Amino acid sequence: MSYDRLSAENAAIVFVDHQTGLSNGIQDQSLPEYMTAVAALAKLTKAFDLPAIITTSAADGPNGPVLPIITETLPGAPVIHRPGEINAWDNQAFVNAIEKTGRKKLIVAGVSTEVCVTFVALSAIKAGYEVYAVIDASGTWSKLVQEVAVARMVQAGVVPMTWVAVAAELQRDWRHTTGETLAQIMGVHLPFYGNALASFMAANA
């Protein structure tokens, strides 16, 4: 494999079915851990000014609306409401929104990991994109299901990541202009780092 790093110039982020109803069923991690990762991913999307696409499945039904933290953080991102397609890639408006970004590296997260994330990831790989699945900002009904989904994606060439790894790869060097904003995001959403920052600030007050 080659290591062609993510950057603010070559990547787009896709939020697939991060909906209130679906999120209530997550059990492969705690709901607070999931919500923290999703919030952090949305905030770093804004911090690095990455193109973002949001999609929902039957949002007017039990799946519910998009998690407010995503739409409030990224008010300008297009939201593609799918009337019935399980695989978002089967919705032409969704694919058009992806193509409009002009990016070939897709950072994908969603609910559920084994369906909504995996189907989009596999379809995007087939269409010639490079796909990075953010596993901690995704969720499903059990740890076993998550592990099977990740294995299937990896076999197809999808790269599993976490939001912190995405953030660090985009940042590359703390001296870049986004460093302070990213440190604030990590301070809020990565508890040990928040404690480290607080200790440093107290010691240098």
Catalytic residue among 12, 42, 77, 116: 116
Rounded distance between C-alpha atoms, residue 150 and residue 158, angstroms: 9
Closest CA to 184 of 192, 194, 171: 194
H or E element in which residue 52 lies: strand 52-57
Q: Which residues contact 28 (CB under 8 A, 6 or more apart)?
A: 113, 139, 140, 141, 142, 143, 145, 146
SS3 of residue 143 by DSSP: helix
H or E element in which residue 79 lies: strand 79-82
Rounded distance between C-alpha atoms, residue 205 and residue 194, angstroms: 16
Verify whether residue 187 is a known catalytic residue.
Answer: no
Write out the catalytic residue numbers: 116
